[in-house]
Structure 1
Amino acid sequence: MPLITAPNLARPDDFYEALIDMHRDLDDAQSQAANARLILLLANHIGDHETLLSALQLAREAETAAA
């Protein structure tokens, strides 16, 4: 399953608002733990190892390019 990198959210603004709301009233440690759980839930939903590896690589490349 190839990784979709083009915009693909039906309601991106609503999702972003829900993501921000998920973090509301959490301290830094709770927020990081919630992010980790979200990543694992979505990774489990995707399921395809190669797709997940591609996502990890792209995320890291974007972060190191920004530094």
Structure 2
Amino acid sequence: MSNEALILAPHLDAPDDFYEALLDAHQGLSTEESHAFNARLVLVLANHIGSLAVLREAFEAARA
């Protein structure tokens, strides 16, 4: 398991570009399709992170 901690400080190279790309990814999707897309995206990114400890930190941060 990784010893990495969740990065909470701004860390994206181009946050505005990321936000635009995320909005573009949702274009043409119904609300249900958008929710399903978000769920799949979470799973893809969780797999990329790979550390349950880091993911649990993310859960706590998102709930705060």
One fold, TM greater than 0.5? yes
CA distance in 2, matches of 1:25, 1:40: 22
Tell me the TM-score normalized by structure 1.
0.88
Q: Corresponding residue for 1:49? A: 52
Q: Identity across aligned pairs (percent)?
A: 54
Q: Corresponding residue for 1:32? A: 35
Q: What runs of 5+ residues in structure 2 fail to find an aligned partner?
A: none
Q: What runs of 5+ residues in structure 1 fail to find an aligned partner?
A: 62-67
Tell me the TM-score normalized by structure 2.
0.92
- CA shift at 1:32, angstroms? 0.2
- CA shift at 1:60, angstroms? 1.2
Query: What is the DSSP-based 3-state SS (H/G/I as helix, E as strand, rest coil) of the residue aligned with 2:44?
Result: helix
Amino acid paired to 2:6: L
Q: Which runs of 4+ in 1 moved over 2 A?
A: none
- CA shift at 1:37, angstroms? 0.6
Instruction: Please report the RMSD computed on the Cα atoms of aligned residues, expressed in angstroms.
Output: 0.6
More helix by share: 1
